[in-house]
Each structure stands twice: as C-alpha cells, then as structure tokens.
Amino acid sequence: MTRLRPARPGGQHRPAGPATADRGGPAYRGGPAYRGGVPLAEVVRSGFVEGRHHGSVVVLDAAGAVLDSAGDVTAPIFPRSSNKPVQALGMLRTGLRLADPADLALVCASHWGQEFHLTRVRRMLRDAGLAESALACPPALPLHEGARDALLAAGGGPARVQMNCSGKHTGMLLSCLAAGWPVAGYCRPEHPLQQALRAAVAEATGAPVAAVGVDGCGAPLFAASLTGLAGAFQRLVAAPAGAAERTVADAMRAHPELVAGTGAGDTLLMAGVPGLLAKSGAEGVAAVAVPGAGAVALKIDDGAARARLPVLASALRRLGLGAGVLDRLAEAPVLGGGVPVGAVRSIW
C-alpha cells in the first residue's frame, strides 16, 4: 500500500513515492489510500485528558443508507478478523457442511483458547482425519489469561491449535476436503479456496477486493471499506432463514462464547443485545449489525483495542439501542496503582 508521510496542515497527505510489493501480493494501486480518521475517543486520567484516539466509523440505517459517519469510510482498510464471518460464508458456498452450528461459530471466531474452544477444534480436526500439524496458523499461547496461566503452570507452551484463528483455519481445511481441493498450500492467495473466499468478500461488501495482504494468522487478508464491511454484516443478519448468510449469523449469535471468550466484548454484546451480530478484528476494527436497526463498522487508527468498544457503544446508540451492556462497555478503565483512576470514553 502507498506509504504516507505525516499529514500537512489541513490534513492532506503526501505520497512517499512508489508503492512496493510484499509477500502478501502486489502493492495497492486500486485508488485512494485510507486517509485516517478524526478524534473519536479520549483518555482521561485523574480528571486530565492525556490523549486521544483517532479513527473512522460508519453507521448504516435499517435500509443500508449511511445514517452517520466520521473519518474516511470509503477507502479500503484491512478488516482483519472482522472478515471472518464473510470468509465463513465463502466456505459454506464451497461445500463446507458442519452438523453442529457451534462448530460454524468457532470457524468465525477469534477464540481465547479456553478449554471449551480447544476441545472443539481438536474434535473437528480429528473427525476429519487431520492432525493439528495441518494447521498453517503459527503456534501461540491462549489469549485468556487464566487458560494461559494454567497451561504454563502445567509446563505447556505455544501450539497451533491454541492460536485464536485455529477455528478459521480448521474451517478452511474442512472446506478444501469438501470441495476436493488439496489441503497443502491452502493459505496461498492463488489456492482455489482463497479465490472463492475473495469472491465472497467482494460480493458481500459490494466492491472488488482492493488489496490482498497476509493476516496475523498467515491466511490471506482482503481489503474493503468500512461502509462495505458494515453492509456485509447487515446482509448477514437480514438474510432469510436457511440462506448461507443467515446460517453464519445464527451460529455466531447462538454461541457467542465460542466467537471470543468469557468476558470478551463480542461475547458480551451478542449475549446482551437480542439479535446483535458482532466481530472485532486486530488494529482496532469492529463490525456489528442488528436486524431491523442497522449496522456499524469502525477502525481505531492506532489499533488500540481500548478505544474500540467505547466508540462502538456510542455508534450503536445512534441506532436507538439502549441495552444495559452498552453502559458497561461505554468506558474502558484507566488504571493507576492497580485501581481505576479514569477512563477511555467516546467523544464522537
């Protein structure tokens, strides 16, 4: 993607020369690069504002029209793991069939590596005749603090199955088996599976994939605008019962604890707001849709997860939502001496 120097006065960016390619594919040349956002959240410590987080956010109404927005919501970004529900849609279209909807929820997950996550991933692999070594995601420790501490205390260490994207990678492997494609090289952008997933992302977001990169888990990553991402989530929840889109949404909403983990923002939102579909991603990305209300997609420019939920709660209130869980997520605590002394809160 084109490298950008710091903004000139007035917010204009100046390209830093020709774009260069990396192992994720050709350099981005598909149009204007993401320009960055505006102040969305502030960090307050002991009553003093010590910092601000910039970003971009779009809110769509129930008809899919833009109700409100801030920052750059039309240029492509990497949605990171917020793409997973749409990638799962592509897997279903390649022939993936899972008897238990909970398995599909895990395919869409950025799981925290708790035992109930790992047991299910291992069973899915075992039932397909696959070893854990077939996973192309890198070895990792669980994201859940308690699960990580218990693992280390028992003498364990990083493993591929514990990586938060192992459910998605398992779904990719099973999709290859269902379609008769080789499992070797399933993460290569030219593999027929990834071509199918790219097509699914383009269709769901309403625009061609603007760039292809390599996600943290090693799988291809497909760029889309925040507006396109919000629209994709709205299509997932608005689809009729029995449609592949609705199958993905229903699985995630029925098993929110599998999509993230105990106490995670996505889990709390889906458990606390009837019908809500949520999936966060790295680098401060989040996407949410509520049937009959609308959809939201956002990106915090510095990637700070602490600003994501307060801004998301503010955005969801613009759709008329008033669930108590939004009050719980509207501020992220700022600690001093191990106790709360302030908060990160939305200013949008």
> Per-residue pLDDT for 79 more than 80?
yes
Q: Note the Cα 227 to chain centre separation in Å.
A: 15
Residues 6+ apart with CB under 8 A from 104: 88, 98, 171, 247, 248, 251, 252
pLDDT of amino acid 28 = 54
pLDDT of amino acid 30 = 60
pLDDT of amino acid 24 = 41
Indicate the pTM of the whole model.
Answer: 0.90
pLDDT of amino acid 29 = 57
DSSP of 118-171, one letter per residue? HHHHHHHHHHTT--GGG--SPPB--SSHHHHHHHHHTT---BGGGSTTHHHHHH
pLDDT of amino acid 23 = 40
Cα dihedral across residues 238, 240, 244, 249: positive or negative: positive
Q: Are 240 and 188 in contact (CB under 8 A)?
A: no
- Average pLDDT across the chain, whole number: 92
> Per-residue pLDDT for 269 more than 70?
yes
CA dist list (Å): 29 to 35, 73, 209, 273 = 15, 18, 12, 40
